[in-house]
Structure 1
Amino acid sequence: MTWLSVILFVLAALLILMACVKARRVRSWRESLNPSAPEVPDAAFVVARIALIGVAIGCVVVGARGLGVEDGSKWSDDELKSAVEQAAYELDGSLYRVDESGEPVVHTDDHETRIETEVAENGGGDAPQSGVDAGPADGNTDTDAYFSVSANGADAEFCVHIERVRSKKDDYTPPGLDEGTWTQLAYRLAVTSREGAC
């Protein structure tokens, strides 16, 4: 997209240069090529200049919009940093329950998806809503996991650490059952982030 915009800007400059050529010079050049050609009226030069300048303005507008579209389709390092910090803040303290068998309701694969979604949603500005990758580190468990977060267009990389912390106060026993008969155990997520790969 950048090359297309550059070509359009160069074309606009050439069109403006063409519009600046004096009528006398065009007439003498035309006469040297074809001496018997009829004379071109001044009004034709005015119309040609207006058309050339109009097309040049169109090239500049389309080129500028192309650069804007390209900028909006890639992440910058600052956008990614801000989005990762905000995502970690929003995920920190999230409630996390286990099912009847004691298995976590959310596994590390789901953490990966949650991080990618939160970062994309917190991009702000003209950051795209896609292109985020949260790659899990080797040796992750359901209770302690690290994810390297990167994004399309950004050179920076961030490490998000998610730790599952037991939260007895958030345990859930359905109404009508005695506590301990069937209880969903509750955990809270402790989430932090730092710059650099995990």
Structure 2
Amino acid sequence: MPRNTMAASSGAYLPSLRAFLVGRITFLVMAGIMVIGAFRVMDAAAETEWSDDELASAVRQGTAQLDGSSFVGELGAGDGDAGATGPGSASDATTIEDVVREHSGGEAPPSGVSAEPVEPHTAADARYTVTASGTEATFCISVRQRRSKADDYQGVGVAGGQSSVTLPGHRLAATSHTGPC
């Protein structure tokens, strides 16, 4: 009898098979939720940084967009002039950053691009070293600005005829390569 008494008393402390299965299933479900959560956190972290390929593609496409584009304004206007655009203007680096971000393909974050002007930096010829957060890759974008009479703009005058003022047009020639300028 002592043997049966011990078996009966130790059995009272063991959980039932049903309770054991519920505990195991709960544990496995919680572990699965934690694994899925970890992947979501890693995915979110990846979306806050650029990759080498994303930056290379964005620089290549951005350079293609700039190459051959035109604008109207004074060559050499810049260094703080309110309406100035193109190389040599106060908004250059921002323009280069915007063009690169615009061609990120939606995979890269909307921020983290930096375009730093490289000396000599003139209104007619400008170079920028482009980098992005999350990658060690650097690229050089060179932009040349040339006068283009075909792109001149002559607005409408006060009396409805042609204006006596012609705004000079310019064309951009842009190239890029891997590495700093």
* Deviation (angstroms), 1:37: 6.8
The question of whether the paired residues in 2 share the 8 Å contact of 1:157 and 1:196 is answered with: yes
Residue pairs, 1:22-171, within 5 angstroms = 38-98=13-73, 103=77, 105-106=84-85, 107-124=88-105, 126-171=107-152
**Bigger proportion of residues as helix:** 1
* Count of residue pairs the alignment pairs up: 161
Instruction: Report what 2:180 is aligned to.
Output: 197
SS in 2 for 1:191: strand
SS in 1 for 2:41: helix
Q: Which moved more, 1:36-45 or 1:149-158?
A: 36-45
Distance (Å, rounded) in 1 between the aligned partners of 2:29 and 2:92: 53
* Deviation (angstroms), 1:56: 0.5
Structure 1 residue identity aligned to 2:173:
A
Which runs of 5 or more residues in structure 1 are unaligned? 1-34
Percent sequence identity is 39
**Bigger proportion of residues as strand:** 2
Distance (Å, rounded) in 2 between the aligned partners of 1:191 and 1:41: 75
SS in 2 for 1:38: coil
Instruction: Report what 2:5 is aligned to.
Output: none
The question of whether the paired residues in 2 share the 8 Å contact of 1:83 and 1:123 is answered with: yes
The question of whether the paired residues in 2 share the 8 Å contact of 1:149 and 1:158 is answered with: yes
Distance (Å, rounded) in 2 between the aligned partners of 1:173 and 1:128: 40
Change (3 A) 1:139 1:73: same
* Deviation (angstroms), 1:111: 2.0
CA RMSD between the two structures: 2.1
Could you state the TM-score of these two structures normalised by the residue count of structure 1?
0.75
Which runs of 5 or more residues in structure 2 are unaligned? 1-9, 79-83
The question of whether the paired residues in 1 share the 8 Å contact of 2:142 and 2:176 is answered with: yes
